[in-house]
């Protein structure tokens, strides 16, 4: 069973997500939290596979809660940020803090369940094109962070750097394959090697890395 923790300051929203999750034969809700502090504490206590995290909550918001959970105490828990707007200024910060992606709160039930399963498998649920729009809009407004070392990019082959740049531009594996004239399976192999060499968790972190390393530029 996929163990899901719900974190949202609105009880009605949590009830709706609980009904969706518990109707899935392979999932169960292990807890509900009304704010970020409670979410981080419950994640450490219950050890969920997935935390569906509202980004805007009182006191401790979803970004800080994500940071706390990913920093330790919650094992293998992965975070999916839930937001009302697809270009929320907090979402990029949450991805940087360790979230595995984000969904809109009006996502169809079937798509929500599918996204949970995708994240459990170790992938991201953010469409690459949406991720690019998000970073394009907000990367310049965030506090300066140390750029990844040049050694990281030097560890990649020329082809892998090309694939990473295309990921950051919002291309899917199929589109990348067509662009560089290789099969989708070959692209997946390149992506896997990129994540391994750069010690990244998923495609979302790869996009963030590409922008912060200077391989990709906001607005290009």
| Helices 89-97, 128-138: crossing angle, 10 deg rounding | 110
| Structural domains counted in the chain | 2
Flag whether pLDDT at 177 surpasses 60: yes
Out of 35-39, 114-118, 171-175, the most confident range is 35-39
Q: Is residue 218 part of a domain?
A: no
Q: Is residue 136 part of a domain?
A: no
Q: Is residue 141 part of a domain?
A: no
pLDDT tens by residue, 57-109: 988 999 999 999 988 755 588 999 888 766 556 667 777 788 887 788 888 89
pLDDT recorded at residue 148: 64
DSSP H stretches of helix in the chain: 11-22, 36-46, 62-71, 89-97, 109-120, 128-138, 150-154, 158-168, 173-180, 184-198, 203-212
Which range among 19-23, 41-45, 206-210 shows the weakest confidence by mean pLDDT? 206-210
CATH value at residue 98: 3.40.50.2300
pLDDT recorded at residue 220: 46
CA distance 213 to 152: 9
One domain for residues 73 and 169? no
Q: Is residue 140 part of a domain?
A: no
Contact, 188 vs 173, CB < 8 A? yes
Flag whether pLDDT at 178 surpasses 50: yes
What does R_g of the chain's alpha carbons equal in angstroms?
17
- Which residue range forms the structural domain that includes residue 168? 148-212
- pTM for the model stands at 0.68
Query: Which domain-ending residue is among 126, 159, 185?
Result: 126
One domain for residues 119 and 157? no
Which range among 4-18, 70-84, 122-136 shows the weakest confidence by mean pLDDT? 122-136
């Amino acid at each position: 069973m996929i163990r899901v923790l719900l974190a949202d300051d609105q009880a009605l929203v949590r009830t709706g997500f609980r009904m969706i999750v518990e109707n899935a034969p392979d999932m169960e809700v292990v807890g509900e939290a009304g704010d970020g502090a409670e979410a981080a504490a419950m994640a450490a206590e219950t050890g969920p596979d997935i935390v569906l995290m509202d980004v805007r909550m009182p006191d401790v918001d979803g970004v800080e809660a994500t940071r706390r959970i990913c920093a330790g105490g919650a094992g293998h828990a992965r975070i999916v940020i839930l937001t009302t707007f697809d270009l929320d200024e907090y979402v990029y910060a949450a991805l940087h803090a360790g979230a595995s992606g984000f969904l809109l709160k009006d996502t169809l039930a079937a798509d929500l369940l599918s996204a949970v399963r995708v994240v459990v498998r170790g992938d991201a649920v953010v469409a690459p094109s949406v991720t690019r729009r998000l970073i394009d809009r907000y990367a310049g407004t965030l506090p300066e962070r140390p750029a990844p070392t040049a050694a990281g990019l030097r560890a990649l082959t020329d082809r892998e750097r090309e694939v990473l740049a295309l990921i950051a531009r919002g291309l899917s594996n199929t589109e990348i394959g067509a662009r560089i004239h290789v099969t989708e399976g070959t692209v997946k192999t390149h992506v896997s090697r990129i994540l391994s060499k750069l010690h990244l968790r998923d495609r979302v972190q790869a996009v963030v890395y590409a922008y912060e390393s200077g391989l990709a530029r906001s607005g290009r």
